Structure 1
Amino acid sequence: MTAFVGSAELRAESLCYEINDKFILNDISLSVKAGEVLFIEGSNGSGKTTLLRILSGLMQADEGEVYWNDNSLADDRVEFNQQLTYIGHASGIKPELTTTENLHFFSSLSGLPRQQDITDAVHWSGLKELSESPGRHLSFGQQRRIALTRLMIEPARLWILDEPFSGLDSKMIDDLQAHFIRHVNDGGLLILTSHQQIALDEVNTQCIHLG
């Protein structure tokens, strides 16, 4: 894994977002720095996914601002996008491509893919026997594993993950949490939601509750 150098911070100030005159998010401020985890919890409909999408620059808040290293996302998205891996509810895999082809596609988005990285990612996902299976033939959990292998092959410093443990078995969840800890200890930043308990006590973890 990549060991990151220097400071980094994602900061949000006074975020508000409303639908049909109802506030989904109301005056949300937060900060997560290199070597830290931010765990966002709350019931369904409390705005967790909306907040993650705003922090990722995929949605615009009605009020407030998001900053990456003190630069507003509204002003400069290029450097931010290079440092971000966002994985939402949808797997994002292409149904016509095989497991290996999907990984090559993901890797190509952040530079020239290395075959060893792809091989390691397939092994980590536990889907070696399905490496040539088209995405449309895979279960939700298998598609989720492929999506999460992006964390192995993309050199992004900031990970924003919406329910990353959904559809995974207990061993894969343990492996993924160990991977999270290594990433944060190497100077990465992690923001996630989950309906499950997380075991990230080894790293600096803060929690905010929505709703």
Structure 2
Amino acid sequence: MTTPARLVVLISGGGSNLAALLRACEDPGYGAEVVAVGADRPSAAGLALAEAAGVPTFVERVGVYPERTDWDAALTDQVAAHEPDLVIAAGFLKLVGPRFLAEFSGRYLNTHNSLLPAFPGIHGPKEALEYGVKLAGATLFVVDDGMDTGAIIAQVAVPVLDDDDLEALTERIKVAEREQLVHTLGRMVREGWQVQGRRVRLGPA
């Protein structure tokens, strides 16, 4: 049997995407295992999910370091210690720095609640609703040094209904986002992937 891909998941909050990944990884055929969960704050509720599943956790708070670069170095070292094949930002609300990006180039993934390049940043569903688009959605992408600007791996569209409010639209996007993350990540670890400029191709080289 092929050795499962090693995943380190970074979180800032409740960890709904983390929970979905932990469930998926219970199936040996999925092809991955979560080997560590890191957070930028000790209050992140997802840490308890990881601990309940027997997954090691760590916390690296920006505020305890004199410079942002020091935090970036510490986070890089913490993640690297677990020898991940992929690092997943699952609701992780901090921008990493050059050292982290260099260490995990092409292997650091994020999921965002809009159809990028539309509505980057932290208010994707709100801005989509205010703009009046008919399709919102979620994007899985390879993180680069920009704000939600990396090469796109997968996208899923979520219709915006006439009677949608922010809560309803956000929740439907979250459901689609989780399903996309689990499905696409599984394909990546089982079939391979290549990043070619702005294109990401799933499957063997």
- TM-score over 0.5 (shorter chain): no
Give the number of the structure whose residues are more often helix, by fraction. Answer: 2
Could you tell me the TM-score, scaled by structure 2's length? Answer: 0.30
With CA pairs under 8 Å and 6+ residues apart, which has the higher RCO, 1 or 2? 1
